Chain A
């Protein structure tokens, strides 16, 4: 169980004046600004929950995760993970957590994957029998067998991520932090990884904290999401209500023939149903709810009024949801 209460992390950042003079000045006197990376957040996560922890880049996600892992000491507030204070009891906390940190490998880069797991076995003091059973199961679910003899540096991104996941879950941790586990992977690998995470949660009741920009990840894995922005919790609740609120929102990006300058006006049938944002060189984005009007209707109305060169239909992104939440509130 994770309990976070009034947790804050403030950094002091030296603000420099621009140019060489500024750099030289900075050598002698510096002014500092305080950046509130995490600002008074509170939440509780029960054993076995799978929580999506989302927010834009720089919102404070990884700072929070680092504090939960014991890597960072908070500026103020309380944090306990299964009764331990991570930054005071870092090593004991470490034996009960697993992590995949995006691009940073848990594997030893120049030795065979199998040897990496052997070393992890000794580091986490996993009993031999348990280790063998776990490896056998992971090898099957994640299809690791052909990769076992290869060095981590020889693996492709998808292969590496599968091996990383196995490393994170190897010692049967009670909590696993996953930072962008599916970034840059193809659809098949993504599906396999999501399946594996759900399976681990079902079999071992592992708590999973997932940060991602991939809406699909969140929808398939998490029941609950925490949205953080500028260091504050913006939303904490079920994914369902967010989906009800924003899930039917669609955006269509148009590229219109725009010779000789033109002023964009929303076609008559769409007035009151769609909002437009006009970009440069004939680019126009229309935002609408697919409960009020279908994408097909929007596109055909546009095609009747303008010559459309190209169009794309976009799903709502985390960024747009966060922005929406910020502007209009829950």
Chain B
């Protein structure tokens, strides 16, 4: 484990150097994601210009849910983005073999191969939204609350990662599972809104099948009154750990199938 932390730091430093070399790329990437995320926040603002509460949720409560989703997603985006190109850039052209003849865990190597600069854009917007909304919630922020919030954001990131890892692993059988990954991640947009505005079906799917509900709404309710979902909220870290375990086991299965069929 310590070895991997040190090794990641080496990869990260090198990536950072490349980013600094291509400054314009870096800025354009960050700015474009920043714009996309800011627009979606603006949209919520516009909606709330016409109404005061949405199904019992105030503007700032909604923003707070948004912030957790954005922060979780941005951590996953910055550090684990290379999973998206497993099929396209590794398996299809045969580059995955290169990872398999190195004395490190191939999943680690795949992830360490990229730091996605664009993610810094959503991290920034997420922080702004968090700092705008959090003080306006009906809660006094002490050290314990902040720690809990950090844990919830980490769980959110872990669930984004687990879902992506699970569906990326399909690439071992079907060469490139990117379309599936994109479709699945599309559903995470639902999870940015309070789950109780949806019908039973969508709620069930986003809670128990693809646990995106735990990337924002459930963790957020820990800090907010009146949803009745608090009892589920506390399970977020456990759900994150379980999802990661399942996804990694599935990845391992894919890997072993890959090495018995080749490409």
Query: Which residues of A pack against B, CB within 8 Å?
Result: 11, 63, 66, 69-73, 87, 90-92, 94-95, 97, 99, 101, 104-106, 108, 110-111, 115, 118-119, 122-124
Which of these, B94, B98, B261, contacts A11 with CB under 8 Å?
A: B261
Could you tell me if B14 and A111 are in contact, using CB atoms closer than 8 angstroms?
A: yes
Q: Which residues of A contact B260 (CB under 8 A)?
A: 72-73
Q: Which residues of A contact B95 (CB under 8 A)?
A: 104
Q: Which residues of A contact B259 (CB under 8 A)?
A: 70-73, 87
Could you tell me if B101 and A70 are in contact, using CB atoms closer than 8 angstroms?
A: yes
Could you tell me if A119 and B11 are in contact, using CB atoms closer than 8 angstroms?
A: yes
Query: Which residues of B pack against A, CB within 8 Å?
Result: 6-7, 10-11, 14, 17-18, 93-95, 97-98, 100-105, 113, 256, 259-262
Could you tell me if A122 and B6 are in contact, using CB atoms closer than 8 angstroms?
A: yes
Could you tell me if A119 and B98 are in contact, using CB atoms closer than 8 angstroms?
A: no
**C-alpha spacing A95/B100, complex, angstroms:** 11
Q: 4 tightest CB-CB pairs across the interface, nearest first?
A: A95-B103, A94-B103, A73-B260, A122-B10
Could you tell me if A72 and B262 are in contact, using CB atoms closer than 8 angstroms?
A: yes
Q: Which residues of A contact B103 (CB under 8 A)?
A: 91-92, 94-95, 123-124
Q: Which residues of A contact B113 (CB under 8 A)?
A: 108
Q: Which residues of A contact B104 (CB under 8 A)?
A: 91, 123
Could you tell me if A111 and B261 are in contact, using CB atoms closer than 8 angstroms?
A: no
Q: Which residues of B contact A111 (CB under 8 A)?
A: 14, 17-18
Q: Give chain B nearest CB distance to A22 CB in angstroms.
A: 20
**C-alpha spacing A11/B262, complex, angstroms:** 9
Q: Which residues of B contact A69 (CB under 8 A)?
A: 97, 100-101
**C-alpha spacing A90/B106, complex, angstroms:** 11
Could you tell me if A97 and B10 are in contact, using CB atoms closer than 8 angstroms?
A: no
Q: Which residues of A contact B93 (CB under 8 A)?
A: 104
Q: Which residues of A contact B100 (CB under 8 A)?
A: 69-71, 90, 94
Could you tell me if A66 and B10 are in contact, using CB atoms closer than 8 angstroms?
A: no
Could you tell me if B261 and A71 are in contact, using CB atoms closer than 8 angstroms?
A: no
Q: Give chain B nearest CB distance to A76 CB in angstroms.
A: 12
**C-alpha spacing A115/B94, complex, angstroms:** 23
Contacts A91-B103, A106-B98 known; 11 new A-B pairs at CB < 8 A: A66-B262, A71-B262, A95-B103, A104-B93, A104-B97, A108-B14, A111-B18, A123-B7, A123-B102, A123-B104, A124-B102
23 A-B residue pairs with CB within 8 Å: A11-B261, A11-B262, A66-B97, A66-B262, A71-B100, A71-B262, A72-B260, A72-B262, A73-B256, A73-B259, A90-B100, A91-B105, A95-B103, A97-B101, A101-B97, A104-B95, A104-B97, A105-B98, A108-B113, A110-B18, A111-B17, A118-B14, A123-B7
Q: Say whether, besides A66-B262, A72-B259, A111-B14, A122 and B7 are in contact (CB < 8 Å).
A: yes
Q: Say whether, besides A91-B104, A123-B7, A123-B103, A63 and B98 are in contact (CB < 8 Å).
A: no
Q: Which residues of B contact A115 (CB under 8 A)?
A: 14, 17
Could you tell me if B18 and A94 are in contact, using CB atoms closer than 8 angstroms?
A: no
Q: Which residues of A contact B102 (CB under 8 A)?
A: 94, 123-124
Nearest-neighbor residue (CB-CB) of B97 within chain A: A71
Nearest-neighbor residue (CB-CB) of B105 within chain A: A91
Nearest-neighbor residue (CB-CB) of B260 within chain A: A73
**C-alpha spacing A66/B263, complex, angstroms:** 11
Nearest-neighbor residue (CB-CB) of A122 within chain B: B10
**C-alpha spacing A105/B95, complex, angstroms:** 8
Nearest-neighbor residue (CB-CB) of B96 within chain A: A71
Q: Give chain B nearest CB distance to A247 CB in angstroms.
A: 35
Q: Which residues of A contact B11 (CB under 8 A)?
A: 119
Which of these, B6, B7, B101, B105, contacts A71 with CB under 8 Å?
A: B101
**C-alpha spacing A211/B134, complex, angstroms:** 63
Q: Which residues of A contact B7 (CB under 8 A)?
A: 122-123
Q: Which residues of A contact B101 (CB under 8 A)?
A: 69-71, 94, 97, 99
**C-alpha spacing A94/B259, complex, angstroms:** 15
Q: Give chain B nearest CB distance to A308 CB in angstroms.
A: 45
Which of B7, B93, B102 has the most C-beta atoms of chain A within 10 angstroms of its own C-beta? B102
Q: Give chain A nearest CB distance to B259 CB in angstroms.
A: 5
Q: Which residues of A contact B256 (CB under 8 A)?
A: 73
Nearest-neighbor residue (CB-CB) of A37 within chain B: B262
**C-alpha spacing A119/B95, complex, angstroms:** 17
Which of these, B14, B105, B261, contacts A119 with CB under 8 Å?
A: B14
Nearest-neighbor residue (CB-CB) of A97 within chain B: B101
Q: Which residues of B contact A11 (CB under 8 A)?
A: 261-262
Q: Give chain A nearest CB distance to B143 CB in angstroms.
A: 37
**C-alpha spacing A63/B17, complex, angstroms:** 38
Q: Give chain A nearest CB distance to B89 CB in angstroms.
A: 10
Could you tell me if A101 and B262 are in contact, using CB atoms closer than 8 angstroms?
A: no
**C-alpha spacing A104/B261, complex, angstroms:** 19
Q: Which residues of A contact B17 (CB under 8 A)?
A: 111, 115
Nearest-neighbor residue (CB-CB) of A177 within chain B: B101
Q: Say whether, besides A69-B101, A111-B17, A123-B103, A104 and B94 are in contact (CB < 8 Å).
A: yes
Could you tell me if A63 and B14 are in contact, using CB atoms closer than 8 angstroms?
A: no
Q: Which residues of A contact B94 (CB under 8 A)?
A: 101, 104
**C-alpha spacing A287/B94, complex, angstroms:** 40
Q: Which residues of A contact B18 (CB under 8 A)?
A: 110-111
Nearest-neighbor residue (CB-CB) of B259 within chain A: A73
Q: Which residues of A contact B105 (CB under 8 A)?
A: 91
**C-alpha spacing A115/B15, complex, angstroms:** 10
**C-alpha spacing A330/B94, complex, angstroms:** 36
